[in-house]
Each structure stands twice: as structure tokens, then as C-alpha cells.
Structure 1
């Protein structure tokens, strides 16, 4: 089976692609010109022969698409005219209700239902989210990611997963670095506490490797629950304690690399992905590519080759190439 290729909208956030001076300038311009923003993104996707898109935080969020085209069906028609479609949307943004506040459950569910309604109207079936971030190591009082914590997260995940399922949308959890769903143990614990009918997994090969884990082992253990995966490479596990604040995502960047140039075992990953419900989509994740068309074409070539002939990209697993420093 030949999969469809997709990418995250963040691929298009690099200021060089827009001829602007900074990421802030891109956000400001896209806010003022949402239709121009989306038309250029669509043209670049079509040029790269990548037909699927994951929406996330601004400027490539749900609100931006609605401002640009007026409605989800209109956005869907614009995409379809270019052979494109929405694969998923990531719950992101400063206005998202905090999962750590027990009183926020009604707001959390309502926020997810709103996003799920958009996805249903645009022809997509997958809402992706993550668990809250860890705190910086040494912070007092400490945040322990234990059974009690995961029980609370599972309760919220069940409520959200059931709510969006009524709209034909599945809820999948992304394995973000420095979050409470990062280490292999985190993922196993959360998956064991959640109902597979309502809670799915979106593993990220890069982030799992950055936590000193084995992405292939995770994908193999949870294959039946993987609705989508982010295909991304890592240079090595994160070997220092990062400060977990608004800069943490930038701090992670030096540990990431283009597909096929890092430590992810693409042979094993492709084999594991072929046995998942999400096998029909390969989502290539490239954070802020200066030349997104070239980067997507290169990533697509690697993924195409490894899916067709996995042995060409055999690599030693992260556990064998670098010590687990976590």
C-alpha cells in the first residue's frame, strides 16, 4: 500500500519562506492576511506533492482557516481543488484550558468539541493533543508523574475522547519532549490507564528518541492504538536538564534533524507503522523549514524509500548509539 504524505503546518513558519525578518513578523502578517497565507501554503504543499495537512497553533490554526475562507466546508473546497485535505488538528494555543486544573474539565471538553466539529466539517477524523509539560527538574514542589497523576489525566482523556467520538473524531496523544508523556514508561503507563476505544496514540519518533527511548519499541508495543505518527529524526537524546518554560521548544531544536540523518531506526519504524490503523498516512514533521518544498521533497523521498524497501535505511537503535542519560 502506498501511503499518503502529510505534514504539520509548522513546516511553513520559517520567516525566510515569507521573506520576513522574524517569526513574530510572520504571525503578524498571517493574522492580517489569512487568505494569502493559506493560499501560499496550499501551493507549496501541491508543489511538494504532499497532500495532507495537520493544523496546530497560530498562524496555521483553525481560527485562521475560518477567517480566510469563512467556514470549514469552504476551507475544505479550497484544499480539495488542489488535491489536498486536512488529516488532523493539534490542540494548541495559549487559550487552551489547562488540564492540570481539576475545575477545567467542562471547558476542556467544550474546547475539544469545538475543534472536533471543525474537523468533521472539513472531512478529517483525528484530533491530536498532548499531556501537560513536566516542570524543570529541581522545582519545588516537584511534579511526580505517577499513577495518581496518570489516573487524573486518563479521566480527562476519557471524557474528551468520548465527547469527540460522537462527532466521528478520534482523540490521539502526542509524545512531546519534556512533557508528562515523553519517556517510554510515561507512554506505557498512560496507555494502560486509558480505554482503547476512546484514546489513541500519536507517537513522534524524534521526541521518543530525545527522551532516550526506542521509538520502534514504543510503536511495536502500541501498534493497535496508533492512529497517526509524526515521522521525525533526532541527533541524540537530550543530555541536559532543560528549563521548562516558554523557551523549551527552542531549546529542543538543536537535537532534531532531517529524516534519514539521525538515530531513528527507519527500517524498524516503517515496519511497525505498517501494522497500525494509521498506516495509510506518513506525516513528515519539519519544524520551520526555510525552503519547505525542498525539505518536504527530501523527507518524502526518504519515507518513500523506507516504506518500499526498509532495509535501505536500517540504522542502529537509539539505545545502542547513545547512552540513556535520563
Structure 2
């Protein structure tokens, strides 16, 4: 089976790609002319040979798509004419309901159902989410990621997974750095507490490695529940306790690199991925590439070579 290659829209967020000088300028440009933003993204994808897309936080979010094209079905048509398709949407908006707020479950479920309806209409069947972030080490009161905490998160995931399943959409949880689903132990605990019929996994090879984990071992243990994976490389584990605030994502960036330039065992990862339900999609994630077309071609080449060794 030859997989389709995909990417996250964050690949196209680097200001240099737009001839601009800041992240804010990119967001402003996309807000002012969302049609032009999406046309450039889709054209670059088509040029790179990557055909699948994951939506994420603004400016490449569901709201931006609706401002540009009016509906999920119209967006699907725009993708279709370029030989592209939607793979998934990531719940990464800053205004999404907080999973740690015990009273927010109705709002969390309603928000997920709205997104799932969009995803299904746009031709995809995956909604990706992350668990809440940890607190900075040493903060008081601390947040302990223990069995009680994970049971609460499992309850939320079950409610969301059941709700989106009624739209024909699966919920997959992403292994984000500095989140409560980061370390190998976090992943194993959460997966043990959740129902495999309603909760899937979206492992990120880079983020697992940044937490000192072995992405290949994680993928092997949970292969049967991997609906999608993010293929991304890491220069090495994060060697300090980062301050967890709105800047933490930018401070993770120096630990990330292009495929084949870091420590991830790509042949091992490819072999593990080939045994998963998500084997038909290879999502190359390159956060904010200055030249996304070249970077995607290079990443795809690494993935193809690794998959070729499996075959």
C-alpha cells in the first residue's frame, strides 16, 4: 500500500514564506485576506507533492476556512480541484473549552461536535486533541499527573469520543511536549484507562523524543490504536524544565529539526507505523518552515526511504 503524504498547516506559518517579518504579520495578512492565504497554502502543497492537510490553530483553523470559503463542503471542493484532501483537524485554539474545568464538559462536547461536523463535511474522519499542559516544575500548588488526574481526562475523552463518533469521526489524542500526555508513562496510563472503541492515539515522534521517550517503542505498544501519527524529528530530549506559559511552544522550537537531521529512528518508526490503522497516511510535520515546499519534499524523501526498507 502506498500511503498519502500529508502535513499540518503550521508548516506554512514562517514569515519568510510570506515575505513578512513577524508571526503577527502573517496572522494579520491571513485575517485580512483568508482566500489568498488558503490559495497560497494549497498551491504550495500541490507543488510539494503532499496531498493531505491537517488544520490547526489560527490562522490555519476552521474559522479561517469558513471565512474564506463559507462552508466545509466548499473547502472540500477547493481541495479536490488541486488533488488535495483534508486529513484531520487539531483542537488547538486558545478559546477551546478547558478539559481541566470540571464544569465545562457540556461545552467541551458541544465544541467537539461542531468541529466533527465540519471535519465530516470536509471529507475527513479524524479530530485530534491534546491533554492540558503541565504546570511549570516547582509551581505551587503543583499539578500531579496521577491516576486520579488521568481518570478525569479519560472521562472527558470518552464523552468527546462518543459524541464525535456519531458524526463518523474518530478522536485521537496527541502527545504534546510539556503536556500531561508527554512522557511514555503518561501515554501508557492514559491509553490503559480509555476505551479503544472511542479513543485513539496520534503519537508525535518528535515530542515523545523531547520527553526522553522512545517513539518507536510507544508506537509498537499502541500500534492497534494509532489512527494518525505526526512524523517529526528532534535534536535530543529537552534537558531543562521549561516555563509553561504562552511562550513555551516557541521555546520548544530549538529542539526540533527536519526529518533525518535528528535522533528519531525513522526505519523503526516506519516499521511500527506500517502496522497501524493509520498506515495509509504519513503526516510530515515541519513547524514553520521558511521554504515549506523544499522541506516537505526532503521530509517525504526520508519517509519514503524508511518505508521502502520496511517493504
TM range (shorter): over 0.9
Root mean square deviation of aligned Cα: 0.8
What corresponds to 1:291 in structure 2? 291
Deviation digits for residues 17-66 of structure 1 (CA, Å, limit 9, x no counterpart) = 10111010000010010000000000000000000000000000001111
Equivalent positions of 1:1-326 (< 5 A) are: 1-310=1-310
| Distance (Å, rounded) in 1 between the aligned partners of 2:72 and 2:304 | 31
**Gaps in structure 2 of 5+ consecutive residues:** none
| Distance (Å, rounded) in 2 between the aligned partners of 1:141 and 1:42 | 45
Q: What SS is found at the alignment partner of 2:10? A: helix
| Distance (Å, rounded) in 2 between the aligned partners of 1:20 and 1:310 | 41
Q: What SS is found at the alignment partner of 1:282? A: strand
| Distance (Å, rounded) in 2 between the aligned partners of 1:219 and 1:93 | 27
- Normalising by structure 2, what TM-score? 0.99
| Distance (Å, rounded) in 1 between the aligned partners of 2:309 and 2:155 | 41
Deviation digits for residues 247-300 of structure 1 (CA, Å, limit 9, x no counterpart) = 101111111111011110111100000000000000000000000000000001
- Normalising by structure 1, what TM-score? 0.95
**Gaps in structure 1 of 5+ consecutive residues:** 312-326
| Distance (Å, rounded) in 1 between the aligned partners of 2:123 and 2:94 | 26
1:310 Cα deviation from its structure 2 partner:
4.7
| Distance (Å, rounded) in 1 between the aligned partners of 2:153 and 2:110 | 17
Q: What SS is found at the alignment partner of 1:37? A: helix
What corresponds to 1:319 in structure 2? none
| Distance (Å, rounded) in 2 between the aligned partners of 1:25 and 1:296 | 23
Q: What SS is found at the alignment partner of 2:154? A: helix
